[in-house]
């Protein structure tokens, strides 16, 4: 389980770089094509759940934050992405027009036969309604939206202690999941650092942005009867089992996990 939630199993080339680029290993659906949105405040563990669900369901974990970080890694000078990175560093939301342009350039992923697990998108109701329009254009629909919930103090503790490998993106936490060697990734030996937006001022801004804008996205999906709520207070494998159980309660054919919830 440990390696599974450390990193995505897919290379996600198309998602990270746009429709002109092809995934090295196109993902394969396991059983059915799942199309899910994972919602919840920063620090709740959406990325970890996206990787765990991806291993169970086959769908590709797609994070918009990862697109911005990948662009930064490449040293791109596109003005929209430069502006996006300044916003990201301060913990502010990137403007809808920039985000939606990225999504327009990644429609291959929305219609991919393997399905998707969107993480960090949509974050505003304008983004959610654009996503609806794009999915309708490709004759596909969301199966469900999973909203992960956690007490705000715990969110701050998780974000402030989070560390990430700058090479392979494996996640760590200074107290709950430390590296074996200080500052060195257990998986690839890369440098493990703190994300620029996990500093205290940016954390406050990100949580405020979530409660101001993104929480409304949950209402948007609740009105469509797509919303399933899961507590993120437990260990990742328990949260995974609860997510699958919620999907099963809606009649979806989910694979079994050994965890008892
Ligand atoms: P994440 O990796 O999801 O925590 O996202 C990191 C940062 O990227 C956010 O704090 C925003 O600055 C930016 N970002 C990612 N996705 C979006 C989005 N859908 N809308 C606006 N800003 C976003």
pLDDT tens digit sequence for 160-180:
999 999 888 888 999 999 999
Ligand 1 mutation pick, 51, 88, 129, 195, max ligand atoms within 8 A of CB: 88
What local confidence, expressed as pLDDT, does residue 77 receive?
A: 64
Write the DSSP string, 213-255: IIHHHHHHHHHTT-EEEEE--S-HHHHHHHHHHHHHHTT--PP
Distance CA(151)–CA(129), nearest Å, equals: 28
What local confidence, expressed as pLDDT, does residue 261 receive?
A: 43
SS3 of residue 119 by DSSP? strand
What local confidence, expressed as pLDDT, does residue 64 receive?
A: 95
What local confidence, expressed as pLDDT, does residue 69 receive?
A: 87
Atom of ligand 1 nearest to the CA of 87: 12
What is the four-CA torsion angle of 157, 207, 132, 79, rounded to 10 degrees?
A: -110
Query: Which of these, 186, 181, 158, lies nearest to 170 by C-alpha position?
Result: 186
What local confidence, expressed as pLDDT, does residue 76 receive?
A: 64
**Nearest CA residue ID for atom 1, ligand 1:** 65
**Nearest CA residue ID for atom 12, ligand 1:** 88
What local confidence, expressed as pLDDT, does residue 82 receive?
A: 77
What local confidence, expressed as pLDDT, does residue 83 receive?
A: 80
Atom of ligand 1 nearest to the CA of 64: 16
What local confidence, expressed as pLDDT, does residue 54 receive?
A: 93
The two tokens of residue 7 are 């990193």
Atom of ligand 1 nearest to the CA of 91: 10
Ligand 1 mutation pick, 8, 62, 93, 101, max ligand atoms within 8 A of CB: 93
DSSP code of 168? Answer: T
pTM reported for the whole predicted model = 0.92
Distance CA(60)–CA(56), nearest Å, equals: 11
What local confidence, expressed as pLDDT, does residue 1 receive?
A: 47
Listed as ranges, residues in the chain with pLDDT below 70 are 1-9, 76-77, 79, 258-261
Residue 11 burial by Cβ neighbours in a 10 Å radius (0-12, 13-18, 19+): middle
């Amino acid at each position: 389980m440990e390696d599974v939630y450390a990193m995505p199993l897919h290379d996600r080339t198309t998602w990270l770089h746009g429709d002109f680029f092809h995934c090295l290993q196109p993902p394969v659906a396991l059983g059915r094509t799942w199309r899910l949105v994972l919602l919840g405040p920063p620090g709740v563990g959406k990325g970890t759940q996206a990787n765990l669900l991806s291993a169970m369901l086959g769908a590709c974990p797609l994070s918009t934050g990862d697109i911005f970080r990948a662009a930064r890694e490449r040293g791109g000078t596109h003005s929209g992405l430069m502006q996006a990175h300044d916003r990201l560093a301060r913990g502010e939301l990137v403007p809808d027009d920039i985000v939606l342009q990225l999504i327009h350039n990644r429609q291959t992923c929305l219609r991919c036969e393997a399905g998707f697990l969107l993480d960090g998108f949509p974050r505003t109701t304008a983004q959610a309604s654009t996503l609806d329009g794009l999915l309708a254009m490709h004759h596909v629909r969301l199966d469900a939206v999973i909203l992960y919930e956690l007490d705000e103090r715990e969110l701050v503790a998780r974000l402030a202690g989070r560390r990430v490998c700058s090479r392979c993106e494996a996640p760590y936490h200074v107290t709950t999941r430390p590296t074996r060697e200080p500052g060195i990734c257990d998986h690839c030996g890369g440098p493990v650092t703190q994300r620029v937006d996990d500093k205290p001022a940016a954390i406050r801004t990100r949580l405020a942005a979530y409660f101001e804008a993104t929480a409304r996205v949950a209402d948007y999906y609740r009105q469509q009867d797509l919303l399933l709520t899961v507590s993120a207070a437990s260990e990742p494998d328990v949260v995974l089992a609860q997510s699958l159980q919620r999907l099963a309660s809606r009649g979806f054919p989910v694979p079994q996990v050994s965890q008892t919830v």
